[in-house]
Structures are given as C-alpha cells and as structure tokens.
C-alpha cells in the first residue's frame, strides 16, 4: 500500500487542530506528542527503528496476526468500505510516514489492535458497537496513535517488557542495530509478545496518549470527537455486563469511563463538527453489520 501524506489544512481545520491539541493536553497520560512523535521508535534500552523498518517489521507480522485473531472477513465490499473510512484518517496523521494498512477481522469481540509500521485490524464486532462513522474512526485513530508513537516497542524495551520477553530476547532487543539489524530475526523474536500486547493494551498512560491522537486526526478529517467518548462508554457498558467483553481499547471499566469523561470535556470546547453525517462506506459496513449486543458466546 502506498504511503499516505497529510493533506493541506483549511483555515477551519487549522484552527481546529490548534484547539484540539490544546484541549487534548488535558487528557493526561504519557507517551509522546499528540502529532505522533519522532520518525524513529526508541525504548528505554531498546532499538531505534526508522519508519521504513517499522513498516517492514509490521508487514512481516501482520498476516500471521490476522490469522491468529480470526482471519480476514471474507467480504471484499466490507473490506473496501473499511479502507475507505480509514484512508482519510491515514492522510490526516502527521509524520512519521508509515505504510498504513487496515484489515477487517472476522471476530465478534468489539476490539481493534495495531502492530508497528501502521498495520491496523478492526473486528467486525466493533462495527456493531460503533454508533456511527465517527465512532469507528475514533477507534482507528486511537490505534494510529499507538503505532505512530511506538508504544509496542517502547513497552517491550522498557521495564514492563520483562513480563513479555525472556532474558535472551530482551538482550537481543536491546542490542538491535538499526543500521545493520536483521528485521526478519527481530520479527521472529517479537511476533508473539507484540500480538499479546496489541490484544491486551499498553496501560492507562499510553492509552490516554493514543486518545489524544484522535483529536489530531479528527482536526484534519472532520469527524466528531465526542463520538470517541460514546464508543468508550458503550464498551464499558458491555464489559460491566460481561467481563469477556473487555478489549484492548479499554483500561478497566471505571478508568475507561473516566477516559470518556475527559474526551467529552475536551470535545465540548472543540470547534469540530458536533455531528458528522455517515458516508457511503460506513453505510455499507452498517448494512453488513447491523448494531446489536454481542452474544456472550461470541465474546468468550
């Protein structure tokens, strides 16, 4: 897939971007600039990968991760519709330039996840929970924030990585040479821990940092930021009824609701649209995946 470049901002979008950045700073957390951070990913004692290396790493892992999480949904029209929703978001993300790619997964759990290099997956169950295109876009933009800010490699290279990597793997990761390092070997070593992290989340601080990315992307794509809060509340409500509904987009029921409150407070002062009409692509997705409460058996 070709690399998407940021679009030129209109005056209205530029004002929205400035306001969104200022408001998003109040969302708290850690993990880099709202605009996506530097062009390399650096962990506490780990590797610094260029944007091209991130894309190569993600590309080597993406197909296996898709198969491991339910497989790609076998409906070309639905896959094309999801790409159509996502492409303006990819174009709206500032540097680093990544090889953005998105796939619809045949899974009912209302979740989304991402791998380094801009590889994003969305479960069909999340589309059923989203109340409109902006809510779906918020989940995608959140995952874009994770990958642009390098959260996965930062976790594995930092103190938290001791829980995911054995000592030999941690030593190899710390010694990785960005100039001469073997991406294939790195991919083999990190395939399982990266997917585990992607499915379980990166902790409250980094989840809030990814929430801030929603404002950056929405300032340029025109989506409604309050939809992000509605999506988090819907996920929290499902999880409160049935624990298996918890997804990587959440940080526990209570904290997810707190994140929704923070997003709502920021959105209330945003100059962005209060309601954005759903486009034809989302209408296609909605026709395939009508809204419903996922069954307990589906979520287990």
Provide mean pLDDT across the span 36-48.
Answer: 38
Whole-number Cα distances in Å, 137 to 24, 43, 123, 265, 282? 17, 28, 13, 19, 10
Q: Which residues contact 61 (CB under 8 A, 6 or more apart)?
A: 115, 119, 187, 190, 191, 194, 195
CA-to-CA distance for 222 and 199, rounded, in angstroms? 28
| pLDDT confidence bin for 274, thresholds 50/70/90 | low
Instruction: Give the pLDDT of residue 299.
Output: 39
Decide which of 258 and 295 is more confident.
Answer: 258
Q: Which two tokens stand for residue 121?
A: 């997956």
CA-to-CA distance for 69 and 47, rounded, in angstroms? 27
CA-to-CA distance for 23 and 5, rounded, in angstroms? 25
CA-to-CA distance for 180 and 57, rounded, in angstroms? 14
Sign of CA dihedral 7, 8, 13, 18: positive
Model pLDDT for residues 136-177, shown as the tens digit of each residue: 999 999 999 999 999 999 999 888 888 888 888 888 777 777
pTM of the predicted model, to two decimals? 0.83
Q: Which two tokens stand for residue 33?
A: 């600039």
Our CA dihedral for 27, 28, 29, 31, rounded to 10 degrees, sits at 70
Provide mean pLDDT across the span 260-272.
Answer: 88
Model pLDDT for residues 91-140, shown as the tens digit of each residue: 999 877 788 999 999 999 999 999 999 999 999 999 999 999 999 999 99
- Mapping DSSP onto H, E and C, the string for 245-266 reads HCCCCCCCHHHHHHHHHHHHHH
Other C-beta atoms lying within 10 Å of the C-beta of residue 160? 16
Provide mean pLDDT across the span 16-22.
Answer: 40
Provide mean pLDDT across the span 263-274.
Answer: 82
- Which of 72, 94, 133, 114 has the alpha carbon at shortest distance from 283? 133
Specify the DSSP element, H or E, that contains 218.
helix 204-221
Instruction: Give the pLDDT of residue 276.
Output: 76
Helix (H, G, I), strand (E, B) or coil at 118: coil
pLDDT higher than 90, residue 284? yes
Instruction: Give the pLDDT of residue 273.
Output: 62
């Amino acid at each position: 897939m070709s690399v998407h470049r940021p679009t030129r901002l209109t005056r209205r979008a530029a004002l929205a971007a400035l306001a969104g950045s200022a408001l998003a700073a109040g969302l708290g957390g850690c993990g880099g600039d709202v605009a996506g951070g530097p062009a390399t990913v650096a962990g506490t004692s780990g590797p610094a990968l260029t944007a091209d290396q991130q894309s190569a790493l993600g590309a080597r892992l993406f197909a296996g991760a898709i198969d491991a999480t339910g497989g790609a949904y076998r409906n070309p029209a639905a896959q094309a519709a999801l790409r159509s929703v996502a492409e303006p978001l990819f174009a709206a993300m500032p540097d680093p330039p990544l090889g953005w790619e998105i796939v619809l997964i045949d899974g009912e759990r209302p979740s989304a996840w991402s791998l380094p290099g801009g590889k994003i997956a969305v479960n069909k169950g999340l589309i059923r929970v989203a109340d409109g295109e902006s809510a779906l876009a918020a989940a995608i933009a959140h995952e874009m924030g994770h990958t642009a800010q390098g959260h996965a490699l930062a976790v594995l290279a930092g103190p938290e990585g001791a829980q995911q990597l054995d000592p030999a793997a941690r030593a190899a990761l710390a010694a990785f040479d960005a100039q001469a390092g073997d991406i294939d070997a790195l991919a083999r070593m990190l395939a399982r821990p990266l997917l585990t992290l992607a499915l379980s989340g990166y902790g409250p601080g980094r989840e809030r940092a990814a929430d801030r990315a929603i404002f950056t992307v929405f300032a340029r794509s025109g989506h409604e930021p309050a939809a992000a809060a509605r999506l988090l509340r819907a996920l929290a409500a499902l999880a409160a009824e049935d624990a298996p509904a918890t997804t990587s987009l959440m940080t526990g029921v209570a904290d997810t609701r707190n994140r929704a409150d923070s997003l709502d407070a920021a959105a209330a002062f945003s100059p962005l649209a209060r309601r954005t009409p759903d486009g034809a692509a989302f209408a296609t997705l909605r026709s395939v995946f009508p809204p419903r409460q996922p069954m307990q058996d589906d979520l287990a």
